[in-house]
Amino acid sequence: MVYGKLNESDLLALQTEAQAQSQRLKFVIAQAAKLPAFAEASRVPANEVHGCEAQVWLVCSWQHNELELQLDSASRVVKGLLSLIYQALHGATPAQVSDFDLDALLATLGLQDMVSISRRNGLRAVVAAIQAQAMTS
């Protein structure tokens, strides 16, 4: 499934929420609040994802064949976009992680045209790092 572990009803709920916002940017920023707190001790260079405009930190592990994901960013907009990735992949199986398509998710939510190319490339770097973890599990 290209949307990670998100099912059709999850996608519909996110679509409805995204479209209900008067501005899509407000929707993205509101998503940032859904991202669990990231431990200050994990904000180390080894956990930083390079290729992003804003600082992004990533910690992945596997518990019972499900992805345990921690993400954070210094930017509220990037943090909101990371929250969408988190919702799609936290608790996902390696196959769901491998099949995940960031561009398809952004298009489904109607966000593809508001995410700049450089920001999208940074998000792709995050997804690539997560998918690399899935291949080693």
- pLDDT tens by residue, 34-57: 999 999 999 999 999 988 778 999
pLDDT band at 81 (very low <50, low <70, confident <90, very high): very high
Q: Which residue has the higher pLDDT, 1 or 23?
A: 23
C-alpha distances out from residue 122 to 22, 63, 137, Å: 26, 26, 23
User: For the chain, which domains are there?
Assistant: 8-136 (3.90.1010.10)
Amino acid at site 63: Q
Q: Which residue has the tokens 């099912």?
A: 7
Q: pTM value?
A: 0.85
The catalytic residues are 52
Check whether 10 has a pLDDT greater than 90: no
Q: Under 8 Å CB-to-CB from 66, ≥6 apart: which residues? A: 91, 92, 93
How far is 11 from 18, CA to CA, in rounded Å? 10
pLDDT band at 1 (very low <50, low <70, confident <90, very high): low
Q: How confident is the model at residue 65 (pLDDT cuts 50, 70, 90)?
A: very high
